[in-house]
Amino acid sequence: MALINLLAPVLLCFLCFQPEFAFSDLAADRAALTRLRSAVAGNTLQWNVSSPSPCNWTGVTCDDAINRVIELRLPGDRLTGDIPVNTVGNLTALRRLSLRGNRLSGVIPSDLEQCSELQFLFLQNNQFSGALPATLFRLSNLIRLVISNNSFSGDISPNFRNLTRLTHLYLQNNQFTGQIPVLNNPFIQFNVSANRLNGSIPGNLASFPVDSFTGNQLCGPPLNSCSVEGESSKLSGGAIAGIAIGSTLGSILIIGIIFFLCRSHNKSRSSRQAVQDAASPIPESPEKPSEYNFRSPDHIMASENTGSEEGFSGRPDSNDELTFFGEGGFLLEDLLRASAEVLGKGTVGTTYKAYLDHGGEVIVKRLRNVCVSKREFTKRIVCIGELYHENLLPIKGYYYGKEEKLIVFDFIPMGSLSSILHENMEEKSQFTWEVRSKIAFEVACGLEHLHSHNLSHGNIKSNNILLNPGFQAYLSESGLIHLVSSSTTSLSGYRAPELIDTRITSKEADVYSFGILILELLTGKDPTLLLNEEGIDLPAWVQSVDEARWKNDAFDTDLVKNNDNTEKITRLMHLGIRCASQYPRRRSSMSEVAKQIKKICKF
């Protein structure tokens, strides 16, 4: 029986390929890859061409059962020039092709249609040009197609209708049945933004989000309708200021000003005075916000000041105040007067660091799309706020007004785990095995504590792990995801496969996300970036690397630089993979996971 299983794919090959492909095998794939190598060079020059099999070449994955190359991933590998025919097009068993972030140009090779198994195609951030070729629309198995930031031109062909899996994914494993619509479907991805495409968008693509199409001359849903000639899409002052604020992480802002943008056009002298006191010395400008160029920080500040001219109605809901847990409270007015800095935008809202006048800094989260009543909100926050654990970020206080919902946290100096791992901060050199394993353990303990109170976190990711200068880890945003209705369509590398709706969470899903976090700590790879740009989740990526080569190819180089903990790292990696099992029942409980980490790391 096992033999039949082994033979089945081979038999299928004979049945479905034309005679000239009947003898396609690994040797032919190898020859196609070497032809590609001579054409595009870059890091493929490091392939060991004296090796008889291409399967160990970086970026190449084979399926041993069918003895073919099934994945080619060469992102950011400094490839240049055109992709000739008889290269990628001859890899007829290919399921995944990622050539993103190179300097490839010319047209998509016309023989790509021979890769009829292709499900994932990532060509973004290159210089490909020409019309979207008919060959693309014969790849009927595609479920992710990302060709953004190239120079493709011409219309979006109605032939997209032929890509039925891209517009409706039917799932047939035992966890899901039936069809999942495009929106919020974590499996499907489609992006043609930032090209030179024109004309109207075919109807069956209309359910993709706007930012799948922007940066072209396209029209029709989900963009503006095609009939209106030259319709200008001027943004409101508020929206423009919002964009400016969003795009200047790190610039000093005034929290109070942010309130104006959402508020009625009712002016109040005294309040405006308060804000001007806190604002930078840049003079107010009478110009309209829409006339600013947001490239320079000066203009951004100016636009904010103009924002203050738009009107400010004083304190939100003047009867309400911030509610604090324990000592160290301050007035809402103190908070509004404080200067603030945007730290980031996340699933639940925007995070600011606020500098209070009387000294002291706090983190303020301004929640977006809160979908629960004040009573429910208070109940949940109090429940989380009263949980104390040294690895959970304490909630200081909260505010629930008609328009604004704020949560105030203690300020933790170092920043997030994500920023240290992925933004090349110099602290990363201190990110040794000892530090990383300790962070994994501490996060596990914080999460175990939440779970032991029958709460799930719902949004475990490296952005939500804050570190102090001794690298003590604090898990933030516990349970906040339950308070907001999220309409995000972007893929998250941490989301358990059984979750379709972001608001539904479970302890098992937390364990999954935690497993991803372990793999992220050990590989240094950003799981969301990997998923969005290469269509592969981190556990699959780790498992695509031969375990014998983990030390060189999978572990973060900063992790193995100085000393050799390969065995422990390998064991922790396996634990991460088990936590991130596709099947919720196979994941251990958080208390079990914490115990295992302790055992592996000998704390």
Q: Which residues in this chain contact ligand NAG in the complex, by CB under 6 A?
A: 20, 28, 31, 48, 50-51, 53, 55-56, 86, 90, 111, 114, 125-127, 134, 137-138, 148-149, 153-154, 159, 162, 191, 193-194, 198-199, 209, 211-212, 490, 548-549
**Location of structure tokens 């000892």:** 434
- Minimal distance in Å, beta carbon 148 to ligand NAG? 4
Least distance to ligand NAG from the beta carbon of 196, Å? 7
In a 3-state reduction of DSSP, which class is residue 367? strand
Structure token pair of residue 537: 């989740």
Pairing mode, if any, of strands 80-82 and 96-98? unpaired
Shortest distance, CB of residue 11 to ligand NAG, whole angstroms?
21
C-alpha–C-alpha distance, residues 580 and 538, integer Å? 9
Nearer of residues 138 and 263 to ligand NAG, judged by Cβ: 138
Q: Select 8 or 134, whichever has its Cβ closest to ligand NAG.
A: 134
Nearest approach, Cβ of residue 416 and ligand NAG (Å): 21
**CB 344 to ligand NAG: min, Å:** 16
Q: What is the rounded end-to-end Cα distance, in angstroms, of the chain? A: 47
Residue (137 or 514) nearer to ligand NAG, CB: 137
Tokens coding 187: 């499996």
Nearer Cβ to ligand NAG, position 490 or 563?
Answer: 490
- The residue among 199 and 401 lying less far from ligand NAG, judged by its C-beta, is 199
What is the nearest approach in angstroms of ligand NAG to the Cβ of residue 16? 15
Q: Which is nearer to ligand NAG, 116 or 276 (CB)?
A: 116
- Farthest-apart Cα atoms in the chain, separation: 83
Q: C-beta of 117: minimal distance to ligand NAG in Å? A: 15
Nearer to ligand NAG, 282 or 545 (CB): 545
Distance of closest approach, residue 545 Cβ to ligand NAG, in angstroms:
11
Task: Give min distance, CB of 218 to ligand NAG, in A.
Answer: 10
41-57 burial, b if ≥16 CB within 10 A, otherwise e? ebbbeebeeeeeebbeb
- Helices (H) then strands (E): counts for the chain: 17, 24
| Closer Cβ to ligand NAG, 31 or 383, answer by number | 31
Measured N-to-C along each axis, helices 433-452 and 566-579 cross at an angle, to the nearest 10 degrees, of 30
d(CA 517, CA 582): 15
**473-475: strand order across its sheet:** 415-416, 465-467, 473-475
| Secondary structure, 3-state, 1-42 | CHHHHHHHHHHHHHHHCCHHHCCCCHHHHHHHHHHHHHHHCH
Separation CA 567–CA 582 (nearest Å)? 25
Q: Of the two residues 90 and 419, which places its CB atom closer to ligand NAG in the complex?
A: 90
Write down the least CB distance from residue 110 to ligand NAG, Å.
Answer: 9
CA–CA–CA angle 237, 242, 465 (5° rounding):
175
Contacts of 320 (CB under 8 A, 6+ apart): 332, 399, 400, 401
DSSP 3-state helix, strand, coil percentages of the chain (rounded to 5)? Answer: 40, 15, 45
* Residue 31 or 425 with smaller CB distance to ligand NAG: 31
Provide DSSP, 75-93: TTS--EEE--TTSGGG-TT
Q: Tokens standing for 433?
A: 């095995």
What residue type is assigned to position 454 of the chain?
Answer: N
